[in-house]
Structure 1
Amino acid sequence: MIYSNLIAQELSVANKQVEATIKLLEEGGTVPFIARYRKELTGSLDEVQIAAVRDRLQQLKELDKRREAILKSIEDQGKLTAELEKRIKDADTMSVLEDIYLPYKPKRKTKASVAREKGLEPLAHKVFEQESFDLEAEAAKYINEEKGVANIDAALQGARDIIAETVNESAEAREKMRKYFQHHSTIKARVYTGKEEEGQKYKDYFEWEEALKDAPSHRVLAMRRGEAELFLMLDILPPEEEAIALLEKLFIKSSNTASEQVAMAIKDSYKRLLSPSMETEMRMLSKKKADEEAIEVFAKNLHKLLMAAPLGSKRVLAIDPG
């Protein structure tokens, strides 16, 4: 089976156990049924392991389904190269796959697409290369009032819009930002003005701040409830200056007037495009992690409750009616 080897490695079980479990799941077997009545086939995998096989199998199938859709979309555009196809086939997570696809994704109207319609893409490419040239003289060539490029500043603004989108669509930049957000983000909660009395049950979080990676699940879930009930405002962000510095290190190649334009575009890209996108990802990841931890705690507590002696040390008289 195409997925069994990977799942077996990830769960540290034998491949034949995973193969048997996948076969039983695809035949319609439920997790409790397989765990209780098919031990001889699964090598005695328990409910938790079987559920992990089921969930990972579903993830991998969804990943491959999306991979095929992306390959078809790019091929239909006539932009699929051997190198790009390899990158797509090697992508092992949905985030990486979507990052690769982002530059080829059909777009709604954006600032960059408007700038391209105005004929400013060649200027953006020249600026992004950051070679020494007369910036204002080059930008002046693109002034065209009919297209809405009234002056040099308008031409440079359009070029920066295109560069900002290029930075946002860079798979390397997005991966660096994703890791940076994961390791350095802070979750901040504050109360909405005027909601102090009504939201008293969330008073502990009226002015709360801590590292996201250290925040326990119950606290993350409590703050999210406060946000959902419109008592709290939540932000999940890392230090902005350091994030922008990481991007500058990746894209700034020189020190001239073109590089200054690129630096401005990077700052805009981070604030307007990358940061909101990464914050959304962190919200999803932190909720998933908190939900999983909460379920694990509830499961352990329920197990203790169900396994406790119902009457303690009381004597029980049993009568055999036979």
Structure 2
Amino acid sequence: MNETHTERIRTELGLQPAQVDAVCRLLDEGATVPFIARYRKEMTGSLDEVAIMQIRDRLAQLRELDRRRETILKTIESQGKLTEDLRKKIVAADTMTKLEDLYLPYKPKRRTRATIAREKGLEPLADLLWAQEDPALDPEGVAQPYLDPEKGVTSVVEALAGARDILAERVSEDPEARAELRRLYLAEARFRAQVIPGKEEAGSKFRDYFDWEEPVSQAPSHRILAMRRGEKELV
């Protein structure tokens, strides 16, 4: 039994160490939730089924996180790209989202526009634009040396487009940028839905969403699902 996991569960659920330790041990021995709640009250401090299920589910999540973490570490290490700093970040990741964000730049992927741009030798140009060391930098001027008809870069426009593709992928795969975008989305984004003109009768069961707007952070799941069903039914 992982003491780090049990300590975290105790903190999150506000339970006593002996309660969490006992439930985790009983679950590992194959006991069911109803059995633990009914016949092991003296070991769990009389925890009910809801509390025991919370412990069970959180323990499963943390163990799945460990398995995924181990796979990611092995994959990146096999690529020869696992630095000590990256290892520490992966080990410290406490949610699957954070873990997958860290893995994203190293995840095997199909050939993207950024991949093609790198094959054309445009990553150094992207690095120059990214650094922004010279406020007076002329993008078209610095792109000129990267023209290479043999690689398919025949104009400054093509060179800069390739560099932008590389930078766009770099930002989209940056864990901190992704976390900040999620934060902004939850804080500022709004759901909006309007009926398609002429679909009022066909979509009458969705009339509550004919002109609906609500902050993402406040919208309950049942309203979001209803809105998505209306979208799927093209009303």
What is the match of residue 71 of structure 1?
73
Among candidates 190, 194, 213, match of residue 217 of structure 2: 213
Per the TM alignment, residue 231 of structure 1 is displaced from its structure 2 partner at its CA by 3.9
What is the match of residue 157 of structure 1?
161
Q: How big is each residue's C-alpha offset from its partner over 1:250-303, in whole Å with a ceiling of 9 and x where there is no partner?
A: xxxxxxxxxxxxxxxxxxxxxxxxxxxxxxxxxxxxxxxxxxxxxxxxxxxxxx
Among candidates 35, 38, 44, match of residue 33 of structure 1: 35
Determine whether 1:225 maps to 2:229.
Answer: yes
1:192/1:31 CA distance change after superposition, 3 Å: farther
Per the TM alignment, residue 209 of structure 1 is displaced from its structure 2 partner at its CA by 0.9
> Which runs of no fewer than 5 residues in structure 1 stay unpaired?
233-322
Q: Is the 8 A contact 1:191 1:231 kept in 2?
A: no
1:17/1:167 CA distance change after superposition, 3 Å: same
Per the TM alignment, residue 144 of structure 1 is displaced from its structure 2 partner at its CA by 1.4
Corresponding residue SS for 2:191? strand
Q: Match of 2:109, as an amino acid? A: K
Superposition RMSD on alpha carbons, in Å? Answer: 1.5
Per the TM alignment, residue 109 of structure 1 is displaced from its structure 2 partner at its CA by 1.0
Corresponding residue SS for 1:174? helix
Distance 1:29 1:193 in 2: 57
What is the match of residue 60 of structure 1?
62
Distance 1:68 1:153 in 2: 43
Distance 1:119 1:19 in 2: 56
What is the match of residue 201 of structure 1?
205
Corresponding residue SS for 2:63? helix
- For 1:1-322, list aligned pairs within 5 A: 1-2=1-2, 3-132=5-134, 133-192=137-196, 194-228=198-232, 230-232=233-235
Distance 1:159 1:218 in 2: 43
Q: Is the 8 A contact 1:183 1:213 kept in 2?
A: yes
Per the TM alignment, residue 10 of structure 1 is displaced from its structure 2 partner at its CA by 0.5
Sequence identity (%): 58
Q: How big is each residue's C-alpha offset from its partner over 1:189-226, in whole Å with a ceiling of 9 and x where there is no partner?
A: 23345532222110110221111222234423332333
Corresponding residue SS for 1:189? strand
Q: Which has the higher contact order (CA 8 A, sep 6+)?
A: 1
Per the TM alignment, residue 33 of structure 1 is displaced from its structure 2 partner at its CA by 1.6
1:26/1:194 CA distance change after superposition, 3 Å: farther
Q: Match of 2:8, as an amino acid? A: L
